[in-house]
Amino acid sequence: MPVLILGLLAFTVLWPLWFTVDGALMASDELTAALGPALLDTADGGYAVWTILPSWPTLQPLAELLLDTPQFFSVFWNTCLLAFAQIAGQLVVAAPASWAFAKLRFAGRRFLLLGYIALMVLPFQVLMVPNYLIATRLGIYDTPLSVILPGVFSAFPVFIMTRSFQDVPNELLEAAKLDGATAWQIFWKIGVPLGYAGIFAALVLNFIEGWNAVEQPLLFLKSQSNWPLSMYMNDIVTDNLGIAMAASLLSLIPAMLVFLYGQTYLELGIQAGGIKA
C-alpha cells in the first residue's frame, strides 16, 4: 500500500512534466486538435483529448521557438537577470545580516529577528501596496529593479542562513579572536565555510522562486520589453500552443539544473534549520 500511494504521488508530480514534453514534441495540427476543444470550448464538449505519445514526434515547435521567435531570447534574458540578480544581492546582504543575528550580540537583536520572521510569513498581497508605493517614489517602477530590490531584501534567506550559522561552534570564534582575527575574517573564513549549507539552500530556493515569479512581474513590469518568461508564456498560450509548450519545456531546464546541483545543500540546510528550530 505505501508503494502504491507513493507511486500515485509520483505520477501526479511527473504527469505535468510529461504533458509539457509530450506537447513540445507534437506537430501544431495535432496539438491544436488535442487541446483546442478545452481552450476554445468549441467541439467535443470542451474536453481535451490527450495521448501518452505524439503520433508523429517532431522538433518543429522547438525550432520555431529558437529560430523564428526572437522575443523568447529577450524574455529569457530578462528572467535570468531577475533571478540571478536577486540571489547575488541576497548573498551580499542576507549572509552578513544572518551572521550578525546568529553570532553578534547587540541591542534589539531578538526584536529585529522576530520582525524578519513576521515579514517572512506575510503574503505578497499584503506587501504589494507598500512595495508599489516605494517603487513609484524611487522612480524604478516598470524597471527590473522594482522586482530585484524587494527580492534582495527578502526575509526568507536571512531566516534560513541564521539557523545555519547558529550551528557554528562559538569555541572556534573565540579561538580566532585570540589569534587576532577581525570580525570580517571570522565571518569570511569560519562562518561562510561552515554555514555554506544554509547559504546554498537559501540561494537555491530563492532562485527557483525568482525564476518562476508571476505576481511581482505582473504588478511592477508593464512594458513587454521587461517581461520574464512567466508573463511571456501566459501571453502566447492561446496564440501558438506549440511554441507555448516548447517555451515551457525550455524554461524548466535552468530551474531543474539549479535544483539538481543544489539538492544536497538544500537538504543539509533545511535539516540544520529544522533541528535548530
- Number of domains comprising the chain: 2
List, as one string, the DSSP characters of the chain.
-HHHHHHHHHHHHHHHHHHHHHHHTS-HHHHHHHHHHHHH--SGGG-----SS-SS--SHHHHHHHHH-HHHHHHHHHHHHHHHHHHHHHHHHHHHHHHHHHH---TTHHHHHHHHHHHHHS-HHHHHHHHHHHHHHHT-TTSTHHHHHHHHT-HHHHHHHHHHHTTS-HHHHHHHHHTT--HHHHIIIIIHHHTHHHHHHHHHHHHHHHHT--HHHHHH--SGGG--HHHHHHHHTTT-HHHHHHHHHHHHHHHHHHHHHTHHHHHHHHHHHHHH-
Q: What is the CATH number of the domain that holds 80?
A: 1.10.3720.10
Note down pLDDT in tens along the chain; length 277 residues: 788 888 888 888 888 888 888 888 888 777 777 776 666 655 445 667 777 788 788 888 888 888 888 888 999 999 999 999 999 999 999 999 999 998 888 888 888 888 888 888 888 888 888 889 999 999 999 999 999 999 999 888 898 888 889 888 889 898 989 888 888 899 999 999 988 888 888 889 899 999 988 889 988 999 988 999 888 877 765 667 788 888 888 888 898 898 888 777 777 766 655 544 3
Residues 97, 72 within the same domain: yes
Q: Is residue 63 in some structural domain?
A: no
Assess whether 111 and 171 both reside in one domain: yes
For 217, the domain range is: 68-276
Q: In the listed set 23, 38, 58, which residue is the last one of a domain according to the structure? A: 58
Does residue 80 share a domain with residue 217? yes
pTM for this prediction: 0.82
Q: Are residues 43 and 133 in the same domain?
A: no
24 inside domain: yes
Pair 109, 140 in one domain: yes
Asked if residue 105 belongs to a domain, the reply is: yes
Residues 94 and 116 both lie in one domain: yes
Residues 97 and 129 in one domain: yes
Amino acid present at 48: A
